[in-house]
Amino acid sequence: ARRRSIALEAPFNIAAERKPARLSRYQREVIGGLVLLTPALLVLLVLVVYPFLYAIWLGFFEKAVGTAANFVGLANFRYVITWPQFTAALANTAIFTVVAVAIKFVLGMGVAVVLNQHIRGRNFFRAFLLLPWVMPAFVVYLTWRWLYDPLQGLLNYALFDLGLITRPIAFLSTKETAMISVIIAHAWRGFPFFAISFLAGMQTVPPELYEAAQVDGASRWQQFRYITLPSLYHIIGVVLLLSTIWTANAFEPVYLLTGGGPSDATTVYTMLVYLVGMINMRLGEAAAVSVLFLPLLIGLVLIVTGLLQRRGEA
């Protein structure tokens, strides 16, 4: 009987003495990574994902400040599409984005090519180039607003002294000049991002390629076209994508320079959302305007991404 009891107790004694299994190194790294990512994920959920989903949800409700939400389905979207202001905002956003990005691209590429040469004071000019980009937006656009002033602005004084005009030009108060004035101010602030990005890409191009091209008799334009541009293809794609998204969502230049006027001449969709949601307090319709512009931005991202992948496979 004693032998039988010892035999029965032996497995339990062995199990009690067995140590708990330790996690592998890979499992510890995964758990550590998740712990480190948790704060960033929480911030992303609170500041990005939740407002994004809430805006989509709000677009299907009739909601004003201080009132309860009332589900109306697609009524907000159908109503917003019939607005003349919505059509004008769509056209203004397209013009503002395309022209501003094109100007920033040309200026950025030209400045990058110049600063990539061996010129005196090159490092100083490279650092000075970042000044418009790092300055606060309200400082930049309020300065441009003073420059555009018809009575005290520097631009009108300069044009008078050069004999190009006989009376002041209201750059921000007329339909013919308001949009291009806003575009110029925004392009001046944004082109350093293009220039610095392109300049960084040019620094990675092997000098031997240019030396071989010079030996073969290639001109400066041919070197730029067949060596520089192909080397910057992916950088150009990423910069254009980011700048287009930022420009299409720009709010400060229009708000600080014109406020959307005159007569909706510079009302882009971000300004329309502000006027409907913050001024008129109609949150449901403002959310519907934002949601209607979302497919356009997603389509842009998919087009640029597809072009980059196709070029990479080629």
End-to-end alpha carbon distance in the chain:
82
Rounded to the nearest integer, the mean pLDDT of the chain is: 85
DSSP secondary-structure letter at 282?
B
- The alpha carbon of residue 77 and the mean position of all alpha carbons in its chain are separated, in whole angstroms, by 25
Long-range CB pairs of 247-251 (<8 Å, 24+ gap) are 247/96, 247/97, 247/100, 247/101, 247/186, 247/190, 248/93, 248/97, 248/293, 248/296, 248/297, 248/300, 249/297, 250/96, 250/186
Please state, for a pLDDT cut of 90, what percent of the chain lies above it.
25
Contacts of 48 (CB under 8 A, 6+ apart): none
pTM of the model: 0.82
Mean pLDDT of the 153-162 span: 89
Query: Would you say 195 and 129 are in contact if contact means Cβ atoms under 8 Å apart?
Result: yes
Give 272-303 pLDDT, tens digit per residue: 999 888 787 888 888 888 888 888 777 777 77
Q: Which residue has the tokens 């159908």?
A: 78
Quickly state the pLDDT bin for 190 (edges 50, 70, 90): very high
Query: Would you say 294 and 82 are in contact if contact means Cβ atoms under 8 Å apart?
Result: no
Please state, for a pLDDT cut of 70, what percent of the chain lies above it.
90
Distance CA 262, CA 169 (A): 14
Distance CA 191, CA 286 (A): 31
Cβ neighbours around 169 below 10 Å, total: 18
- The answer, yes or no, to whether residue 128 has pLDDT greater than 70, is yes
Give 230-283 pLDDT, tens digit per residue: 888 888 888 988 898 899 889 999 999 998 888 889 999 899 999 888 787 888
Backbone angles phi, psi at 171, to 5 degrees: -60, -40
Quick one: pLDDT at residue 8? 47
Q: Which CATH superfamily is domain 74-313 in?
A: MetI-like (1.10.3720.10)
Q: 50-58 vs 283-313: helix axis angle to the nearest 10? A: 120
Quick one: pLDDT at residue 20? 58
Q: What residues does each domain of the chain span?
A: 26-59, 74-313
Quickly state the pLDDT bin for 26 (edges 50, 70, 90): confident
Cis peptide preceding 253, ω within 30 of 0: no
Q: Which residue has the tokens 């909601």?
A: 63
Show the tokens assigned to 296: 């356009």
